[in-house]
Each structure stands twice: as C-alpha cells, then as structure tokens.
Structure 1
C-alpha cells in the first residue's frame, strides 16, 4: 500500500523535528513544502507532504498513518 500524510505546524523547530522524525521512519518527501500566514494565530505555518510504501499490507479507512 502507498500511504500519504500532510504534516503541518508552526514555522519553528517543532515542524522540522516532525518532518525529520517522519523521514527517519521511512517516509519520503512528496512535492515542495508550503509556507503560509495564519491570520487567526498571526503566525507563519509550514506544510510538507510525505509518502511511504508498505509491502504486504492493505489500506483501509481505519489505517493509523502515524503508526507507520
């Protein structure tokens, strides 16, 4: 199965750690990162899509993406 996640967070070290953790669990960057202003919090936010291929498993709506 191929898994997809979109990671997002504030423009600070926590976002970088979130992406780094995903990469170290075998996820791969997919596309370019995004960067946008959040009017509600008056701060910048980052986003990055990641994908991962898992052999021998079937995807279902109950699949917990964060566990992979």
Structure 2
C-alpha cells in the first residue's frame, strides 16, 4: 500500500522536527513544501506532503492509522 500524509506546523523548529521524524520512519518527501500566513494566529505555517510504501499490508479507510507507520 502507498500511504500519504500532509504534515503541518508553525514555522519553527517544531515543523522541522516533525518532518525529520517522518523521514527517519521511512517516509519520503512528496512535492514542494508550502508556506502561508495564518491571519487568525498571526504566525507563518509550513506544510509538507510525505508518502510511504508498505509492502504486504492493505489500506483500510478509517482503520489504517497513518501515524503508526
């Protein structure tokens, strides 16, 4: 199965650590990062899509927990 996640966080070290943790669990960057201003919170936010192939497993919507991989 191929898994997809979109990671987001405030533009600080938290975001970098979140992406780094995913990469160290075998996820791969997918596309370019995004960067936008959150007008309500008055902060910049980052986003990055990541994907991961898991052999021998079947994707089940609502049951497959992406954070477990």
Same fold, TM exceeding 0.5?
A: yes
CA distance in 1: counterparts of 2:26 and 2:40, whole angstroms:
33
Aligned to 2:23: 23
RMSD, matched Cα: 0.3
- Looking at structure 1, the residues matched to 14 and 38 of structure 2 have their Cα atoms a distance apart, in angstroms, of 17
Q: Distance in 2 between matches of 1:24 and 1:44?
A: 25
Runs of 4+ in 1 over 6 A off after TM superposition: none
Shift of 1:26: 0.1
Distance in 2 (alpha carbons) for counterparts of 1:39 and 1:49:
22
Distance 1:50 1:60 in 2: 19
Cα distance, 1:29 vs structure 2 = 0.1
Distance 1:63 1:39 in 2: 33
Count of matched residue pairs: 68
Q: Provide the residue aligned with 2:12 in structure 1.
A: 12
- Structure 1 segment 1-68 matched on structure 2, within 5 A: 1-61=1-61, 62-68=63-69
Question: Structure 1, unaligned stretches of length 5 or more?
Answer: none
